[in-house]
Amino acid sequence: MSLVRDMITIAAVSAGAFFFLAGTVGLLRFPDTLTRLHALTKADNLGLGLVVLGLLPQAGGLRDGLKLVSIWLLGLLAGATVSQLIARAARHGESTR
């Protein structure tokens, strides 16, 4: 049973790390603000989500699991809001330039 749990953890955390890597490459390589934001959402939403999913089987109990999930939800909320704000600022900057 613990082998299955460890396999799930390794698979999900590796997938999450891959999305973080892809998001970082995009952040460094993409040409403008909006595409860079697009790359970041992959790391924020999917990468963090997969890492949390992978850590859930290792959580000590329901409380720890809920804490992990709430970290992901807070990350989603913050990421979505901040990308909106940055995108708006970028568009505003373009129109006044």
Partner 1 sequence: MSIATVFEIVLAAVVLGLGIWTIVVRETFSATVGFVAYGLLVALIWVRLDAVDVALTEAAIGGGLGGVLLLGAAARLRDADVMAAETPGKVVRASAAALSVLTTAALAGAVLLLPDPAPTLAPAAVANAWATGLSNSVTNVLMAFRAMDTMLEKVVLLLAIIGVWSLAPDSAWGGRPGPRHQADPDGVLAFLARLLPPVGIVVGIYILWTGADHPGGAFQGGAILASMWLLTIIAGLADTPPVSRRWLRFILVAGPCLFLVVGLVGLLFGAAFLSYPPALAKPLILGIEVAMILTIAATLGLLLAGAPERSAKP
Could you list the residues that contact partner 1 (CB under 8 A)? 74, 77-78, 81, 84-85
Nearest approach, Cβ of 22 to partner 1 (angstroms)? 18
CA–CA dist 8, 38 (Å, integer): 28
> Measured between alpha carbons, how far is 34 from 30 in angstroms, rounded to an integer?
9
Minimal distance, residue 63 CB to partner 1, in Å:
11
Nearer to partner 1, 1 or 62 (CB): 62
Shortest distance, position 55 Cβ to partner 1, whole Å:
15
Cβ–Cβ under 8 Å, residues 29 and 53? no
In the bound state with partner 1, the residue whose beta carbon lies nearer, of 1 and 81, is: 81
The least distance separating partner 1 from the CB of residue 1, rounded to whole angstroms, comes to 25
For helices 48-55 and 62-96, angle between their N-to-C axes, nearest 10 degrees: 180
Query: What phi and psi, each to the nearest 5 degrees, are found at residue 30?
Result: -70, 150
Give 21 or 74: the residue with its C-beta nearer to partner 1.
74
